[in-house]
């Protein structure tokens, strides 16, 4: 730190009047309102600090003995103290950038159950902001460039000396002429109106993994809106909604379906196929199938989100009892009834059945 006497250009035994005169002379030359050079602002600060110390007899005496300037020899100037109190710390110094990160975007994506089984590819159309191709995000008309702001000399902020309870202090505030950018764009790009980005609709190819479920969000870094002033893109989030299927129900990675069979197929058993979400599914219905019996077909459910393992398909069998019988059918069944013997209704001790399973599935 320069010597305060040297800064003001006075001798070590200068009187208070001489010190004040020297300060006013320098301040008129260096004050930011009259001198836009950045070095001048620094000098002005140093001069003010020197004056603050030397114009106070007690602090001048301290300074003369300790050599260090300011309060208690800590080398603190008023400007620093003001900054420390009012948040104008060193971190906020300098012009701010026009380039800002773009917004994140959230898109809802409807999927069918078929698409979820193995995953799918979608071209998602989104309304977004893209970097302006005409100015490439610079915000300036082609062939032009920003000019340094003469009000703040490119610093993006202006310093003013104000009186406060602490004495004269230097404050900094964003330059109003350039809004703190430090430069001014006289000819903004006409295509983006000086924003460096334009509204656009674009198609984003998305690979949707198998096993996603409603409410999940896929995170696609860098696929959000382009930032203003050539700033980086935000992120894209795809919120998944899986539509209800007409016949298949999802239970985690398993699929569930209800299959209706005839009474005779339940009695004698049969082999058949049903159309699955991923092709035909063979069903072996054993003889003596009871209503509500469950067939588990392994590995025909949904592919797990984080592995290649698939869930199962659970087929609940419903037995259709014939309701429209002609005379001959009735005769045959009555004959069967006679051979089968008297079958009075009775309470069952068997817990395995449609109702006990439904109770287990949906809670008590
Ligand atoms: Zn542009
Ligand atoms: Zn400015």
Q: What is the pLDDT of residue 27?
A: 82
Please say whether the beta carbons of 209 and 119 come within 8 A: yes
Whats the size of the chain, residue-wise? 364
Q: Output the pLDDT for position 80.
A: 41
- Assess whether 138 and 226 both reside in one domain: yes
Q: Provide the domain limits for residue 333.
A: 249-362
CATH number reported for the structural domain that contains residue 224 in this entry: 2.60.260.20
Q: Are residues 27 and 141 in the same domain?
A: no
- Do 46 and 141 sit in the same domain of this protein? no
Q: State whether 205 and 298 are in the same domain.
A: no
- pLDDT attached to residue 322: 92
CA of 89 to the centre of ligand 2 (A): 19
- For the chain, which ranges sit under pLDDT 50? 67-92, 359-364
Q: Tell me if 140 is assigned to a ligand binding site.
A: no
Residue with tokens 């071209």: 123
Q: Give the model's pLDDT for residue 78.
A: 41
Q: Are residues 218 and 327 in the same domain?
A: no
pLDDT at 243: 95
The answer to whether residue 315 sits within a structural domain is yes
Binding residue per annotation — 139?
Answer: no
For 205, counting Cβ atoms within 10 Å of its Cβ (0-12 exposed, 13-18 middle, 19+ buried), the class is exposed
Ligand nearest to the CA of 137: 1
Ligand nearest to the CA of 153: 2
According to the model, what pLDDT value does residue 86 have? 41
Q: Which ligand is nearest to the CA of 38?
A: 2
CA 80, 82, 84, 86 torsion-angle sign: negative
Ligand nearest to the CA of 152: 2
pLDDT, tens digit, 9 for 90 and up, residues 125-180: 999 999 999 999 999 999 999 999 999 999 999 888 877 776 788 888 899 999 99
- What's the pLDDT at 353? 53
Share of the chain above pLDDT 70, in %: 88
CA 175 to chain centre: 32
Q: What integer pLDDT is reported at residue 64 of this predicted model?
A: 85
Residues 118 and 18 in one domain: no
d(CA 175, ligand 2 centre) in Å:
4
- Residue 53 and residue 59 in contact, taking contact as beta carbons nearer than 8 Å: yes
Q: Which of 242, 274, 296 is the last residue of a domain?
A: 242
Sign of CA dihedral 205, 211, 213, 219: negative
In a domain, 306, yes or no: yes
Distance 190 CA to ligand 1 centre (A): 6
User: Is 61 inside a domain boundary?
Assistant: yes
Residue 351 confidence (pLDDT): 62
Cα gap 281→312, rounded to integer Å: 12
Q: Is residue 210 part of a domain?
A: yes
| Cα–Cα dist 116/247, whole Å | 15
> How many domains does the chain divide into?
3
pLDDT in tens, 170-216: 888 899 999 999 999 999 999 999 999 999 999 999 999 999 999 99
Give the model's pLDDT for residue 352: 54
Residues with CB under 5 A from ligand 1 (ion): 132, 134-135, 189, 191-192
Would you tell me the crossing angle of helices 38-54 and 78-86 to the nearest 10 degrees?
110
**Could you tell me if 254 and 235 lie in one domain?**
no
């Amino acid at each position: 730190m320069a010597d305060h006497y040297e800064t003001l250009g006075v001798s070590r035994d200068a009187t208070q009047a001489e010190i004040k005169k020297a300060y006013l002379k320098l301040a008129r030359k260096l004050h930011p309102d009259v001198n836009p050079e950045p070095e001048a602002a620094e000098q002005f600060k140093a001069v003010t600090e020197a004056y603050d110390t030397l114009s106070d007899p007690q602090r001048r005496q301290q300074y003369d003995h300790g050599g260090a300037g300011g309060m208690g020899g800590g080398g603190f100037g008023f400007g620093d103290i003001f900054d420390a109190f009012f948040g104008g710390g060193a971190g906020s110094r300098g012009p701010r950038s026009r380039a800002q990160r773009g917004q994140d975007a959230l898109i809802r994506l409807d999927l069918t159950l078929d698409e979820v089984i193995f995953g799918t590819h979608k071209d998602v159309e989104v309304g977004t902001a893209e970097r302006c191709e005409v100015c490439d995000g610079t915000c300036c008309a082609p062939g032009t460039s920003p000019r340094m702001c003469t009000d703040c000399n490119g610093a993006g902020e202006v310093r003013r000396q104000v009186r406060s309870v602490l004495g004269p202090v230097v404050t900094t505030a964003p330059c109003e002429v350039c809004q703190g950018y430090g430069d001014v764009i006289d000819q903004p790009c006409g295509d983006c109106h000086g924003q460096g980005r334009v509204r656009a609709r674009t198609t984003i190819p998305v690979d949707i993994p198998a096993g996603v479920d409603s409410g999940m969000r896929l995170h696609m870094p860098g696929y959000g809106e382009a930032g203003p002033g050539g700033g980086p893109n935000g992120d894209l989030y795809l919120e998944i909604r899986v539509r209800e299927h007409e016949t298949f129900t999802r239970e985690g990675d398993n699929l569930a379906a209800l299959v209706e069979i005839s009474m005779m197929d339940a009695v004698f058993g049969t082999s058949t196929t049903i159309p699955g979400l991923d092709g035909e599914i063979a069903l072996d219905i054993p003889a003596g199938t009871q209503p509500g019996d469950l067939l588990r077909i392994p590995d025909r459910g949904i592919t797990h989100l984080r592995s290649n393992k698939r869930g199962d398909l659970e087929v609940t069998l419903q037995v259709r009892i014939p309701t429209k019988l002609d005379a001959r059918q009735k005769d045959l069944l009555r004959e069967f009834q006679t051979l089968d013997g008297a079958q009075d209704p009775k309470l069952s001790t068997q817990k395995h059945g449609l109702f006990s399973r439904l109770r287990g599935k949906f809670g008590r």
